[in-house]
Chains A and B, each alone.
Chain A
Amino acid sequence: MENGIATQGEGRDPSGFLSEIIGSSVTVKLNSGVVYKGELQSVDGYMNIALEKTEEHVNGVKKRSYGDAFVRGNNVMYISAD
């Protein structure tokens, strides 16, 4: 799609946005409603996500924390830059 190529690298289209937020603190919400907050280590075209210093929140309540976490992309609703 023309749109994607024309605006790439400015964080406007999906791939540009992802490269922009690598290494920063993000919030990942799954379709189940569970939220993971952590440092975004990497992400791929499937929206598979590797997080560091991860906190798991269920219904707004912190449940667990993980040093490293891999989230399979099919469960991801959104990735938000904090």
Chain B
Amino acid sequence: MTSQLLPLELIDKCVGSKIWVVMKGEKGMLHLLQSHQVGTLTQTLWIEFSGTLMGFDDYVNMVLEDVTEFDYSGNHTKLSKILLNGNNICMLIPGGEGPVAAAS
């Protein structure tokens, strides 16, 4: 039997390559941005990042380089180097180029 790959070992293998990070949905954020549209509050919105994983720690706080932030409103923001808090991370996709590449 081959030894299984633990979840964090998978992420460790991603250091130095592209990764796509999906954050937990924030319902409250919609309220902040579009408080005039209270009727759409049930919609869950989230933020996504794609970039090169430089490193991470035990909390899965991550250092990312050449990052694109994909906004709930469809905006793309370029960031050179960030420390992303692991607290609100939902999913990591190794090799992912972000939602735009995945949709095409």
Q: Interface of A with B (CB < 8 Å)?
A: 1, 3-4, 7, 11-18, 27, 31-33, 47, 59, 73-74, 76-82
Contact (Cβ within 8 A) A74 B87: yes
Q: How many A-B residue pairs have CB under 8 A?
A: 80
| A80 CB contacts on chain B under 8 angstroms | 67, 79-83
Say if the beta carbon of B92 comes within 8 Å of chain A. no
User: Roughly how many angstroms separate A13 CA and B58 CA in the complex, as a whole number?
Assistant: 11
Q: How many residues of B contact A (CB 8 A)?
A: 28
In the assembly, what is the distance between CA of A40 and CA of B46, in Å?
A: 27
Interface of A is mostly: mixed
Binding site for A on B (CB under 8 A): 8, 12, 15, 23, 26, 28-29, 32-33, 47, 54-58, 61-63, 67, 79-85, 87-88
A78 x B57 contact (CB < 8 A)? no
Cβ-defined partner of A78 (8 Å) among B12, B54, B82: B82
Contact in complex: A16, B55 (CB < 8 Å): yes
Residues of B within 8 A of A79 (CB): 82-83
Residue pair A81, B80 in contact (C-beta under 8 Å): yes
B57 touches A33 (CB 8 A): no
